[in-house]
Amino acid sequence: MAEETLLSDDFLRQLINVGEVDILVGLPTHNNAKTIEPVIRAIQAGILKSFPRERAVIINADGGSQDGTPEAVIAASIDDAQSASKKYTLRTLHSISTRYAGSPQHGTALRTVLAAADLLRAKACVMVSPDSTTIEADWLERLVNPVYSENFDLVSPIYRRQKFEGVLMRNLLYPMTRAIYGFRIREPYASEFAISGRLATDFLNQETWNDDWGKIGAEICLTVAAITGKYRVCQSFLGTKAHPDRSAGDLVAAMRRTVGALFPLLDSNVPVWSAIAGSQPVPTVGAQSEVVAEPIRVNRKHLREMFASGVAQLEPVFRSILKASTLSELKRIAALDVSEFSYPADVWAKTVFEFAASYHRSVINRDHIVQALVPLYRGRTLSFLLENRDASGEDMEKNVESLCGEFERLKPYLLEVWADRK
Amino acid sequence: MREIIVSELIQALQELARGFAHYLPRLVVMLIIAFVGWVIAYVLKVLVRSILRLTRFSKLSDNAGATQLLNQAALPSSTELVSRFVFWVAWIGFILLGVSVLGIVGLQEYISKFFLFLPRLFVAVVILFFGLLAANFVSRAALLAAVNANFRSSRLLSVSIRIIVSIFALSMVFEVLGVAEETMLIAFATVFGAVMLGLAIAFGIGGKDLAREFLEKRLATGKKEEKEDELSPL
């Protein structure tokens, strides 16, 4: 029923012409003309190299690009890739581009792709980010094979990351999902991943799509749905993750897409997560993690100022979210100079858990709670930078592991503040 | 002479007794109405209190910032206050109904005025509550947006917005109540105009350096912003 309203008549007609497929590659776009070509070439090369006999289709769900992105997707002919590699597919590789209704949103694009996968009865559905300029042909095999050959339902990526990239992932999303749901999935909010047809269908029928947070944070909802639905989950090492625009972008928007979906998911899964203690590793193909040290410019003084100013200015807001002891600890940290600055792991874990509990109780507007976490995250970012300034890849891994340990150790504290009715 | 006095006294007493006998049933009716009114008002109070507790009205009140105001004024909680308000309005209504039974000339007009005033009073209370709620929400949203955008005077901005929205809500309340409408309108226009003028002057004079700094940062160098922007969160 959902597909009928989600897919336009023209798109449906094109899908019917394709028929059933084995592999569906989803490409959500919005004004990505600058980066889309190498991505689509890599996808085609990956299909030629690893899945020449399979029935495959590339579905581009576009949010209304004005720079010719859909045209670029359609124009990228497989013939060029075949001539270049001297490899040929046994079946026609279809490329379809559709403009989904509404404003550009990751969640709507994903939903459109999943609806197509459901309709075409795809065995494996792969999502690829249009910004991943470092994508290689092998990524497709690494993502699809565990689903296609080993019956996994969700393949989450592991990237080779720059030392200080993915700070929110390493300091909040990974430790929190790991402590809550007990699975060590390093990228719970992934831009590249593969899922089985049955998980795609199941997730498509979930009610999270009805909520705003479900639409903007669909990727994290999918990871949680796979864990709570007891689907088989694994990780696959892909390679270097590129960030063409290496800016922090809109930090508040990033927080809404991730934490804004992670917190409400706790509400609907209390019976599942409240009974979990500790965490278990997830089967992983390839390296567990890789870190490369590249110089980056960070104004540490500015970060500290933003944290201190946030703590001071938002004190009335924090009073309704945080415990008095945590707030006084934050004030103490805010008074520290950059040279001695430290936002310890246990205080950070308590902060996040108290925010989650306050979100659950809706002590103030829920979106305001998510926004209020931003200045504190900046403080934790500074602490993370200082802790790992001279750290090697192994040292960093140990530090992240230690932070995850704190989140797991303090999970009873989350249950305590969660049940607190005050 | 003596007989006349006695006769007049007896007549006066008889008239008093007749008058009292005439009013006694009405007085009893008034007392019964007042008593029944008290019972109904009390039941209403308990009912309203339970409904407010069930609907977590106190949380809404917290969000509106009303709880904080009440605490500062050493008043009971918002739930208790609303239920007491309902009790007194209902009971006073019944008492006035009882008084009207007495048929005292002149009081009727005031009693009917009171009943006509009740809906307006209710609307005014609702406007005041939602006005406070809106003021709190908008000022907090502005505070968060300003802090996250690293705006220096975030608190000032937030407080200004709260005051403006609160003044606007109060002026609406007074208009609904019909209390000194013209005075309130003039006062509101004056205060609002003064605040806006003050802000314009403050931003114009006080913010010229800030504006220059902002423009220089944006147009001239374009490099300073990058310094803390190389960290990708995801």
Q: Which CATH homologous superfamily contains domain A2-292?
A: Spore Coat Polysaccharide Biosynthesis Protein SpsA; Chain A (3.90.550.10)
The answer to whether B63 contacts A189, with C-beta atoms less than 8 Å apart, is no
Residues in chain B: 234
Q: How far apart are CA A248 and CA B210, in angstroms?
A: 24
Residue of A169, A246, A299 with shortest CB distance to B228: A299
The answer to whether B154 contacts A313, with C-beta atoms less than 8 Å apart, is yes
Q: How far apart are CA B173 and CA B184, in angstroms?
A: 10
The residue written with tokens 């089985």 in the block is A196
All residues of chain B having their beta carbon less than 8 Å from the beta carbon of residue A304 are: none
pLDDT-wise least confident of A114-123, A126-135, B1-10: B1-10
Q: What angle do CA B211, B136, B151 make, to 5 degrees?
A: 20
In a 3-state reduction of DSSP, which class is residue B148?
helix
pLDDT-wise least confident of A5-14, A84-93, A158-167, B30-39: A84-93
Residue A421: per-residue pLDDT: 61
Summarize pLDDT for A81-90 with one digit per residue, the tens: 777 777 777 7
Beta carbons of A236 and A284 less than 8 angstroms apart: yes
The answer to whether A368 contacts B233, with C-beta atoms less than 8 Å apart, is no
Summarize pLDDT for A289-320 with one digit per residue, the tens: 777 877 777 888 999 999 999 999 999 999 98
Summarize pLDDT for A8-23 with one digit per residue, the tens: 889 999 999 999 999 9
In a 3-state reduction of DSSP, which class is residue B33?
helix
Beta carbons of A26 and A59 less than 8 angstroms apart: yes
Residue of B143, B228, B230 with shortest CB distance to A313: B143
Beta carbons of A378 and B148 less than 8 angstroms apart: no
The answer to whether B231 contacts A372, with C-beta atoms less than 8 Å apart, is no
The answer to whether A167 contacts B231, with C-beta atoms less than 8 Å apart, is yes
In a 3-state reduction of DSSP, which class is residue B40?
helix
The answer to whether B226 contacts A166, with C-beta atoms less than 8 Å apart, is no
Report the greatest alpha carbon distance in chain A: 68
- Burial of A293 (C-beta count, 10 Å sphere; 0-12/13-18/19+): middle
Q: Is the pLDDT score of A249 beyond 80? A: no
Classify each residue of B105-117 as buried b or exposed e, where b means 16 or more C-beta atoms within 10 Å of its C-beta: eeeeeebeeeeee
Strands A154-162 and A233-240, how do they pair? parallel
The answer to whether A169 contacts B234, with C-beta atoms less than 8 Å apart, is yes
Residue A1: per-residue pLDDT: 45
Residue of B144, B150, B230 with shortest CB distance to A246: B230
The answer to whether B144 contacts A168, with C-beta atoms less than 8 Å apart, is no
Q: Is the pLDDT score of A3 beyond 60? A: no
Q: Is the pLDDT score of B3 beyond 60? A: yes
Beta carbons of A361 and A268 less than 8 angstroms apart: no
The answer to whether A169 contacts B233, with C-beta atoms less than 8 Å apart, is yes
- At residue B149, φ and ψ (nearest 5 deg) are -90, 5
Interface confidence, given as ipTM, is 0.86
Q: How far apart are CA A5 and CA A395, in angstroms?
A: 51
Classify each residue of A348-357 as buried b or exposed e, where b means 16 or more C-beta atoms within 10 Å of its C-beta: bbbbbbbbbb
- Burial of A136 (C-beta count, 10 Å sphere; 0-12/13-18/19+): middle
Task: Show the tokens assigned to A342.
Answer: 């430290």
How far A193 CA lies from chain B's nearest CA (Å)? 15
Which whole-number Å values give the CA distances from B103 to A293, B16, B100, in the listed order? 93, 17, 5
| A313 touching B (Cβ < 8 Å) | yes
- Burial of B194 (C-beta count, 10 Å sphere; 0-12/13-18/19+): exposed
Residue of B137, B141, B231 with shortest CB distance to A381: B231
Residue B76: per-residue pLDDT: 78
Beta carbons of B48 and B55 less than 8 angstroms apart: no
Summarize pLDDT for B123-182 with one digit per residue, the tens: 988 888 888 888 888 999 999 999 998 887 888 999 989 888 888 888 888 888 887 677
pLDDT-wise least confident of A88-97, A410-419, B223-232: B223-232
Strands A193-196 and A124-127, how do they pair? antiparallel
Residue of B63, B155, B233 with shortest CB distance to A254: B233
| A140 touching B (Cβ < 8 Å) | no
Q: State the best of B72, B147, B151 to mutate against chain A, taking most chain A CBs within 10 Å.
A: B147
Print the SS3 string covering chain A. CHHHHHCCHHHHHHHHHHCCCCEEEEEEECCCHHHHHHHHHHHHHHHHHHCCCCCEEEEEEECCCCCCHHHHHHHCCHHHHHHHHCCCCCCCCEEEEEECCCCCCHHHHHHHHHHHHHHCCCCEEEECCCCCCCCCHHHHHHHHHHHHCCCCCEEEEEEEEECCCCHHHHHHHHHHHHHHHCECCCCCCCCCEEEEHHHHHHHHCCHHHHCHHHHHCHHHHHHHHHHHCCCCEEEEEEEECCCCCCCCCCHHHHHHHHHHHHHHHHHHCHHHHCCCCCCECCCEECCCCEEECCCCCCCHHHHHHHHHHHHHHCHHHHHHHCCHHHHHHHHHHHCCCHHHCCCCHHHHHHHHHHHHHHHHHCCCCHHHHHHHHHHHHHHHHHHHHHHCCCCCHHHHHHHHHHHHHHHHHCHHHHHHHHHCCC
Beta carbons of A21 and A121 less than 8 angstroms apart: yes
What residues pair up with A225 in beta bridges, in sequence order?
none
| CB pairs < 8 Å spanning A and B | 92
| A309 touching B (Cβ < 8 Å) | yes
Q: Where are the domains of chain A?
A: 2-292, 300-419
Task: Show the tokens assigned to A193.
Answer: 């991943």
Beta carbons of B158 and B100 less than 8 angstroms apart: no
Q: How far apart are CA A195 and CA A226, in angstroms?
A: 9
Summarize pLDDT for A349-403 with one digit per residue, the tens: 999 999 999 999 888 889 999 999 999 999 999 999 999 988 888 888 899 999 9
Residue B228: per-residue pLDDT: 47
In a 3-state reduction of DSSP, which class is residue B15?
helix
**Which of A191-195, B20-24, B173-177, B216-220: highest mean pLDDT?**
A191-195
All residues of chain A having their beta carbon less than 8 Å from the beta carbon of residue B226 are: 247, 297
The percent of residues in chain A predicted with pLDDT above 70, rounded, is 96
